[in-house]
Amino acid sequence: MSQHVLITGGAGFIGSHLADELLAKGYRVRVLDNLAPQVHGEDARRPDYLDPQVELLIGDVCDPAAVRNALRGIDAVYHFASAVGVGQSMYEVVHYTRVNNIGTAVLLEALIEKPVEQLVVASSMSLYGEGLYRNPAGETRIVGERSLEQLKRGEWEWKDTDGSVLQPAPTPESKAPALASVYALSKLDQERLCLMIGRAYGIKTSALRFFNAYGPRQALSNPYTGVLAIFASRLINDSPPRIFEDGWQQRDFVSVYDIARACRLALETPAAAGEVFNIGSGQAYTVRDIAQRVADVMGKEQLAPEITGKYRVGDIRHCYADITKARSVLGYSPQVTLDQGLAELAAWLEGQAAVDRVAQASAELSARGLAL
């Protein structure tokens, strides 16, 4: 009998790709998802992209009865159910805390009553805050949060005590968390809660810290989703991508197919139990470069990125993944290059509709003093 796996939040972007990955390897897959309107639209029906072999249970991860029902006959759980978005988390504090923190607690209490063999929780690079840095001499530097005064002056980069500009370096799992948003705090709570309860009750548990995921099925009308999907949404509507600061901030963009494979490897690797892993590409790209690449592959290269010079409270400057641990323990190696991934994304975007809510989201942040 093949392993029966539950994915909470599995009707979403990453969860549905994981379902495909698991089905292809002979697993049976059940999904618990509330089909949140911000992600799935107002009609809240089963997504067309969700494989017919997936058993979909529509329910809330905060509902103990729904969670207990979803766990019947399950051998392993992927906990992906989460409210996602750094900016929105800074004013919808109750919602993010309910879904991410309380939802995880509800799941874990159900697992205490009826333990499964394994648990994999989706964590986030956001909990690092700023990534690791080095000075011109190659010495490691840990930085904090940029001050509002620094941001108002448009001094985006970090500098060493002698005034030299610090250079971003790959960020390992050993870097201490530096929480700059409610979302980041909630993801750290999800991670620690799962590892703690897993250890106490003999459930082999691992946490995967996803970096900036991209690929088909991302919610294009959700202005708080990944930046690459936000750029695509703007371009579909013949508007230029809008970029905060000067556009030279660096991020790690990783294909959803690589993330799905890493998730499967975490389930199949005994040494993953009790561990935390970065899942990224291990490459740094500037946001300005990404915006132009997306425009190019969509045939809208004339829509040059709009560099706003504005900033958002809690935004970091640079962060990209050190994936050494995932390579050595999980056997994880990114397979999809950025060029390949963007070409496939462009093909999927043809015929997609998107409601551009970026201006509305920016106005909401500005009204609360969170974007200036």
In three-state form (DSSP H/G/I as H, E/B as E, the rest C), the secondary structure along 28-90 is: EEEEEECCCHHHHCCCCCCCCCCCCCCEEEECCCCCHHHHHHHCCCCCEEEECCCCCCHHHHC
Based on the residue annotation, tell me whether 332 is a catalytic residue of this protein: no
* 242: its two tokens: 């809008």
Q: Does 357 or 138 have the greater pLDDT score?
A: 138
Q: Where is 210: in which H helix or E strand? A: strand 204-210
Residue 104 lies in a domain: yes
Distance CA 237, CA 10 (A): 28
Residue 48 lies in a domain: yes
Distance CA 182, CA 190 (A): 12
Residue 372 lies in a domain: no
Residue 69 lies in a domain: yes
Edge-to-edge order in the sheet of strand 132-134 = 140-141, 132-134, 167-169
Handedness of CA 154, 142, 122, 67 (dihedral sign): negative
Handedness of CA 170, 172, 174, 177 (dihedral sign): positive
Q: Are strands 76-79 and 118-124 parallel, antiparallel or unpaired?
A: parallel
What is the per-residue pLDDT across 60-118, written as a single tens digit (0 to 9) for each? 999 999 999 999 999 999 999 999 988 888 899 999 999 999 999 999 999 999 999 99
CB-based contact 78:32 (threshold 8 Å): no
The per-residue pLDDT for 121 is 98
The per-residue pLDDT for 334 is 98
The per-residue pLDDT for 364 is 61
Query: Per-residue pLDDT averaged across 127-133, rounded?
Result: 97
pTM exceeding the 0.85 threshold for the entire prediction: yes
Q: How many domains does the chain have?
A: 1
Q: Does 26 or 221 have the greater pLDDT score?
A: 26
Residue 288 lies in a domain: yes
Residue 27: which domain range?
A: 4-367
The per-residue pLDDT for 222 is 64
Query: CB burial class (10 A; 0-12, 13-18, 19+) of residue 239?
Result: middle
CB-based contact 30:5 (threshold 8 Å): yes
Query: CB burial class (10 A; 0-12, 13-18, 19+) of residue 319?
Result: buried
What is the per-residue pLDDT across 175-198, written as a single tens digit (0 to 9) for each? 999 998 999 999 999 999 999 999
Q: Where is 207: in which H helix or E strand? A: strand 204-210
Residue 323 lies in a domain: yes
- Of 183, 214, 224, 332, the active-site residue reads 183
CATH of the domain at 132: 3.40.50.720
